[in-house]
Structure 1
Amino acid sequence: MSGRDGRGAPTLESVAALAGVSRATAGRVLSGSTKVGPRARDAVLAAAAELHYVTNRAARSLMTRRSDSIAFVVAESEDRFFADPYFSQVLHGAHGVVARHDMQLVFAVVSGDDTERQRFERFALGGHLDGAILVSLHGDDPLPRRLQDAGVPVVLSGRPFAHQARTPLTYVDADNVGGAMAAVRLLAQQGRRRIATITGPLDMAASVDRVDGFRAELAAHDVVDAGSADGDFSIVGGRRAMADLLAADPLIDAVFAANDLMAVGALQAVREAGRRVPEDVAVVGFDDSAIAVSAQPPLTTVRQPMVEMGRTLATLLLDQITHGGEPQAPVILPTEIVRRASA
């Protein structure tokens, strides 16, 4: 027997014969089963490599009832996704973990458009996914519950918003409250006395937590709350919000922006108002994305471990898939201040 099919491709039988194991054992190894001894597993993998055998993913799916695909879903517009480096960093971390497990990562941008959402839900509920990572959800988004009710495990990037929290959900988040407190503490220690904040959308838990941290730390220092304005996590929104804050209180001497893009917008608005950073107004952002380093002046910011968040999201989802979809304990990753010239 040649051990090859009519097109000359190696077969599962030829791998098993070269490895000296049964066809069933070879099939279990190549389908990812852990119920095979290390010697047999190593022999099968070596034989598969020598014969250049490639597992038929469709056939493996029939055996395992798994698609070997997970989705990375961003609940924002395409413009927002491509403008904010946060998403690409989290995606980078998740992709590395998924690739090491020989699975496919399906990427989807799902904004508020009903047609987009319905298309994704049909795909997800049609058996094409083993699980989904959901990023940047707003408000009481029904998508996590719909997927879970259909037996598709989900992990959220960020703490669930108020109503979502009623359903047990696995999530990974940064210490948003602690990070915002550290930003205000730094500004107060530098002698700033009228501190404002630019928030993200307040239908997102991360934005709410950063506002809460801002206000909690203000209360611990002899400083004035100079107000808040919504900057929608964009540069344009940050510039507009900072202009509004300066118009309402020209004596503002510091601002904490809830992400780096808004902080860059704030830098622009301060310059347009004829004031200097940091001499007249200190600026602190949140994320420590690449834009923080290239900003003028370079941005002091709260670093959240974005790539590590992606890795943790993927790891928790794969664990959840392995254990029958049971939600797992949330993971909160630490943040830290990175000092640069803006504050």
Structure 2
Amino acid sequence: MLMGPAARKPTIRDVAAAAGVSHGTVSRVLNGGHWVSRDARAAVEDAIRRTGYTANHAARSLATGRSGSLAFLLTEPHHLLFEDPTFGLLVRGAAEALAKRSMTLVLLVAGTDAEKTHMLEYVRARHVDGVLLVSSHASDPLLGQMRDAGIPIVSAGLPLASDGFVASVSVDELAGSRAMTRYLLERGHRRIAHIAGPDDTPGGRYRLQGFREEMGELFDPALVESGDYGGGSGATAMARLLTRSRDIDAVFAASDSMAAGAISVLSREGLRVPDDIAVAGFDDSGLAETHDPPLTTMAQPWAEISERMVSMLLEVVDGSPGREITLPPRLVVRASA
């Protein structure tokens, strides 16, 4: 740490001198890193560590009108934050992406109408600079209310609830679902059941659509059940499917958690996975690799999704209209199928 003889607090100009750049470059790095080369940013970050510089966030907020923080908004019941591992992966990725920019992530969970009302008041008051929306439902007016309030937003997945453009980062749900269904068909399975997510969510809608399209004439609507992406709903859906048909030879669940829930019911019924019935999921959330048996799944690039969402939201905060980014998922074959 570089300190003066009187141990004064390092300033931006000290960081600039240590990095060999202008203090304007340091300021841009501290405010999100826009229009700064990779080498210059690395030099500034190294100089910050060496000088021991810490930003005066209160002064910066007064000067820029920015809070230096983004909200991670989950509009789901609280239990899904802990039950669905995908949310944890996105939180971690977003927090790491913001930490590199000396910014803060604020976690907001709004599963009830009262919580949504309070959350909307909070973000309207500009306590955060923008919102990373990680779950949305077509029937929920919240997204439109935030847009009308001029709140910068980037959605994880194509938002279904908006009547206007909203920037988004998503995987190709449709192509991923078709690829998984095709894989199961190529393995010789024909009586394939699908446990879908909620129909008013992007994952629920597009993954079911991909499954239906790839199954073609083999599609049987009696072999489709829905859940909320959590393990308990996957177990309930699997139990219902077994009451309708005992000749199911494969199950494709729209999340790893629901796939795990389905396997728990199959095991209870004396059916072996994958010997009697194959099971596949979607997400590759960490649960898939550690499950017994390990789950065949469609992997989402979680770290890239988080980083791209943060980068784009900071662009939207700066006045960019944003855009839609679609990333390819990847088939990961493990023991369950």
Corresponding residue for 1:141? 140
Partner Cα separation in structure 1 for residue 262 and residue 13 of structure 2: 65
Superposed displacement of residue 15, structure 1:
4.6
- The one-letter code of the counterpart of 1:89 is L
267, 270, 281: which one pairs with 1:271? Answer: 267
Q: What letter matches 1:104 in structure 2?
A: T
Residue 105 of structure 2 is aligned to residue 111 of structure 1: no
Structure 1 residue runs of 5 or longer lacking an equivalent are none
The residue type equivalent to 2:335 in the other structure is: A
| CA 1:332–1:126: 2 relative to 1, 3 Å | same
Q: What corresponds to 2:231 in structure 1? A: 235
Distance, in Å, in 2 between the alignment partners of 1:252 and 1:83 is: 27
Match of 1:336 among 330, 334, 337: 330
Distance 2:181 2:16 in 1: 67
Q: What's the C-alpha RMSD, in Å, of the aligned pairs? A: 3.2
* Inter-partner Cα distance in structure 2 for 1:237 and 1:36: 47
Pairwise CA distance, 1:28: 7.6
Larger radius of gyration: 1
**1:210 aligned partner:** 207
Number of positions where the alignment pairs a residue of Structure 1 with one of Structure 2: 329
Which residue is 2:290 aligned to? 294
- Which of the numbers 308, 311, 326 marks the counterpart of 1:312? 308
The C-alpha deviation readout for 1:97-150, integer Å capped at 9, x for no partner, is 211111111111111241x22222222111221111011112232333333333
Question: How far, CA to CA, are the matches of 1:233 and 1:135 in structure 2?
Answer: 14
Confirm or deny: 8 A CA contact 1:193 1:223 kept in the other structure: no
Give, in angstroms, the shift of residue 44 of structure 1: 9.2
Work out whether 1:194 is the aligned partner of 2:196: no
CA contact (8 A) 2:16 2:26 kept: no
**Residue type of the alignment partner of 1:123:** Y
Q: Give the corresponding residue for 1:132.
A: 131
1:195–1:225 Cα contact (<8 Å) kept = no
Give the 3 Å change call, closer, same or farther, for CA 276–76 of structure 1 in structure 2: same
Counterparts of 1:60-99 in structure 2 under 5 Å? 60-99=60-99
1:158–1:173: 8 Å Cα contact kept in structure 2? yes
C-alpha separation in 2, matches of 1:73 and 1:212: 26
* Inter-partner Cα distance in structure 1 for 2:101 and 2:222: 50
8 A Cα contact 1:197 1:258, kept in partner: yes
Q: 1:67 to 1:252 in 2, by over 3 A?
A: same
Rounded to whole Å, the distance in 1 between the matches of 2:144 and 2:157 is 16
Asked if structure 1 preserves the Cα contact closer than 8 Å seen for 2:15 and 2:26, the reply is no
Structure 2 counterparts to residues 13-28 of structure 1, below 5 A? 15=14, 26=23
Counterpart pick for 1:262 among 258, 269, 272: 258
Describe the SS at the equivalent of 1:192: coil
- 1:212–1:18: structure 2 CA closer, same or farther, 3 Å change rule? closer
What code does the residue aligned with 1:129 have? V
> In 2, are the aligned partners of 1:173 and 1:332 still within 8 Å (CA)?
yes
Return 5+ residue gaps in structure 2 as ranges.
Answer: none
Query: What TM-score, normalized by structure 2, do the two folds share?
Result: 0.86
Helix, strand or coil for the counterpart of 1:127?
coil
Q: What is the alpha-carbon distance in structure 1 between the residues aligned to residue 37 and residue 196 of structure 2?
A: 54
Residue identity in the other structure for 1:78: H
* Residue identity (%): 39
Change in Cα spacing, 1:167 to 1:273, as seen in structure 2 (3 Å) is same
Check 1:226–1:296 CA distance in 2 against 1; reply closer, same or farther (3 A cut): farther
CA contact (8 A) 1:239 1:266 kept: yes
1:218 and 1:225 in contact (8 A); partners too: no
- 8 Å Cα contact 1:29/1:36 also seen in 2: no
| CA shift digits 1:248-293 (9 cap, x unpaired) | 0111111110000110111111122222211221111111122112
* 1:342 partner SS: coil
Of the candidates 182, 193, 210, which is equivalent to residue 185 of structure 1?
182
TM-score (norm 1): 0.85
Q: Is the 8 Å Cα contact of residues 298 and 330 (structure 2) preserved in structure 1?
A: yes
Distance 1:43 1:298 in 2: 43
Q: Is the 8 A contact 1:200 1:233 kept in 2?
A: yes
Deviation at 1:223, TM superposition (A): 6.7
